[in-house]
Amino acid sequence: MNKIIERVKDYIFAVTHPTYWKQIGVYSKELDSKLKQLMSSHKFKYLNTVFVGIDDLTLWIDNHPYGLVSCEGFRPRRRTICLAYKKFQRETLNDKTAIRDRRMKKSLA
């Protein structure tokens, strides 16, 4: 029953969030489950404006929301991408390097 509820939530998320309709990378069920597991027990580590790390996994975040992709070109579900990005933003909010890089990126845009 829990899997059905999760599928319905994923479907509703995909329909109601048009910014996530177009995605880069190939969906991987294994990456999705691994990322969910890591998010429950680990914190994101800010690497630079392009990459973040969580445990042994490195994710490309520079093209959010179109891709939160592993280095191998695979991506999790759209809803997992959104949850991961929000978690990353919360955890690096006070990281001085992340703040400096965000400011520099905004000034270049």
9-32 pLDDT per residue, tens: 887 887 888 777 777 788 899 999
C-alpha to C-alpha distance for 59 and 21, rounded to whole angstroms: 19
* Beta carbons within 8 Å of 65's beta carbon, 6+ residues apart: 19, 20, 81, 82, 85
60-79 pLDDT per residue, tens: 887 776 667 776 888 888 88
Q: Which of 104, 106, 68 is nearest to 87 (CA)?
A: 68
Give residue 88's identity as a one-letter amino acid code: F
Other beta carbons within 10 Å of 35: 24
Q: Please report the pLDDT score of residue 10 as a whole number.
A: 80
Confidence grade of residue 36 (pLDDT, cut at 50, 70, 90): very high
Q: Please report the pLDDT score of residue 106 as a whole number.
A: 66
98-108 pLDDT per residue, tens: 767 767 666 66
Q: Domain of 72?
A: 2-108
3-state SS, residue 34: helix
**Domains in the chain, number:** 1
> Model-level pTM?
0.75
Other beta carbons within 10 Å of 3: 7
